[in-house]
Amino acid sequence: MLKRAPVWVLGTMSGTSLDGVDAALLRTDGERIFEFGRHAYRRYGDEERRVIRAALGRWPGEAGVAEAAEVVETAHAELMAGFAGEAELAGFHGQTLAHDPGGRGTHQVGDGRILAAALGLPIVWDFRSADVRMGGQGAPLAPFFHFACAKWIGADAPLAFLNLGGVGNLTWLDPRQPAPEVPGACLAFDTGPANAPINDLMRARRGLDLDEGGAWAAEGAPHQALIDEFLDDRYFFRIPPKSLDRDAFPGLASAVAGLPDADAAATLTAAAAAAVARGAEHFPAPVSRLLVTGGGRHNPVMMEMLSSYFDIPVEPVEAAGLNGDMLEAQAFAFLAARVARGLPTSCPGTTGVGAAVGGGQIGHPAGYSVPGLR
């Protein structure tokens, strides 16, 4: 177990938007944030993205999975090598290819043992499998870090974090509670598709990676009937916790297929915002503010649409002194420290697992040890 003292941990994240890899240093004991360190980003090249995209929805042993794993491991190793000597431990999320809790499970490609050998650093990885094996959704996993962030910013009333990545997810939390796994401290769940269908639309129709600054959405008009039909999906009526795969709503892309580009972008953006508002109906108590992280916070049309649903501040996390581009990478640094200390990483309120559970494996490089870690 890791000693109960703050250490520098390197966290990495490659999300469902498939843009690239984030890496960030965090000084933590797995319970508190002591200091934020430097960070870096490595973009996936077009060919790398093509290989990963071709493997989406596939499971271990299926065609294209080994090639995607090699891309993910290589990209992470290149980025993480730039932090040599700065961390005692690292967290490696890998790349989610398929997510089917209650069915086939969850599949994040990338082997932490390979990175441990390549980098000479203990790597915590495979964060989600234990939760899914015990009946949880395996996602979202950032809520325990959101709880620590709320403590770090001095919050004294319930608030919510919204991550707008490929999929949207909400964390409701009460920072007055002593720990995130305490009943009533956290509720978390995926809201619905966020950036993924917008990015896919832009790539297919305009050859762009995303709707930069919401420019296309700003020129279009949302098709309200399609949004209303989308919100009739039974997912939105399920009590959280609950989670989604990146491509869980294929009908949404089909529904906008006949719309002009700008109207399609506006409709997908409005659908993402409406899904968040529908999700907020599940909050156990009103919140004082909604802090937005992930790429979606850079889309002013998305942010304006979100604000129209709430009578509280809807702000990027930078308004609270946090880094929305690196929050998920920092989260997996925090979770790595928790795994190394034997602390839980999820609980009934965050993933629906039966009891607080710690996930993750630790890959140890030969001849390397962290003081207090065995």
Same domain flag for 220 and 96: no
pLDDT score for 35:
98
Is the pLDDT assigned to residue 15 strictly greater than 80?
A: yes
Is the pLDDT assigned to residue 354 strictly greater than 80?
A: yes
Average pLDDT over residues 159-177: 96
Strands 159-164 and 290-293 turn out to be parallel
Same domain flag for 309 and 195: yes
What type of residue sits at position 273?
A
Same domain flag for 244 and 159: yes
Kindly state whether residue 2 falls inside one of the protein's structural domains: no
pLDDT score for 373:
47
Confidence of residue 18 (pLDDT cuts 50, 70, 90): confident
Which residues are paired to 173 by β-bridges? 159, 186
pLDDT score for 4:
75
Same domain flag for 18 and 70: yes
pLDDT score for 361:
95
How many domains is the chain partitioned into structurally?
2
Kindly state whether residue 249 falls inside one of the protein's structural domains: yes
Is the pLDDT assigned to residue 371 strictly greater than 60?
A: no
Same domain flag for 210 and 306: yes
pLDDT score for 372:
47
Q: Please tell me the distance from the alpha carbon of residue 125 to that of residue 356, in angstroms, as a whole number.
A: 18
Query: Which residue did the predictor score with more confidence, 370 or 31?
Result: 31
pLDDT digits (tens, 9 = 90+) for 212-236: 999 999 999 999 999 999 999 999 9
- Cα-flanking dihedrals φ and ψ of residue 17, to 5°? -75, -15
Kindly state whether residue 141 falls inside one of the protein's structural domains: no
Same domain flag for 335 and 314: no
Share above pLDDT 90 across residues of the chain, in percent, rounded to a whole number = 90
Same domain flag for 229 and 267: yes
Kindly state whether residue 332 falls inside one of the protein's structural domains: yes
The HSE-up count of residue 187 (CA atoms within 13 Å, CB side) is 19
Same domain flag for 296 and 336: no
Average pLDDT over residues 340-345: 96
The CATH number covering residue 213 comes to 3.30.420.40
Kindly state whether residue 269 falls inside one of the protein's structural domains: yes
Kindly state whether residue 217 falls inside one of the protein's structural domains: yes
Is the pLDDT assigned to residue 298 strictly greater than 80?
A: yes
Same domain flag for 54 and 97: yes
pLDDT score for 3:
64
Alpha-carbon separation of residue 194 from 138, 252, 275, 294 (angstroms) = 19, 11, 9, 10
Please state, rounded to an integer, the average pLDDT across all residues of the chain.
94
Same domain flag for 306 and 335: no
Same domain flag for 179 and 64: no
Q: Please tell me the distance from the alpha carbon of residue 278 to that of residue 275, in angstroms, as a whole number.
A: 5
Kindly state whether residue 143 falls inside one of the protein's structural domains: no
Terminal-residue alpha carbon distance, the chain:
6
Average pLDDT over residues 295-319: 97
Query: Which residue did the predictor score with more confidence, 123 or 367?
Result: 123
Q: Please tell me the distance from the alpha carbon of residue 197 to that of residue 250, in angstroms, as a whole number.
A: 9
Which class for 321: exposed (0-12), middle (13-18), buried (19 or more C-beta within 10 A)?
exposed
pLDDT digits (tens, 9 = 90+) for 97-125: 999 988 999 999 999 999 999 999 999 99
pLDDT score for 374:
40
Is the pLDDT assigned to residue 318 strictly greater than 50?
A: yes
Same domain flag for 263 and 211: yes
Kindly state whether residue 145 falls inside one of the protein's structural domains: no
Model's pTM, two decimal places? 0.93
pLDDT digits (tens, 9 = 90+) for 187-220: 999 999 999 999 999 999 999 999 999 999 999 9
Is the pLDDT assigned to residue 79 strictly greater than 90?
A: yes
Structural domain for 299, as ranges: 154-320
Is the pLDDT assigned to residue 162 strictly greater than 90?
A: yes
pLDDT score for 368:
52
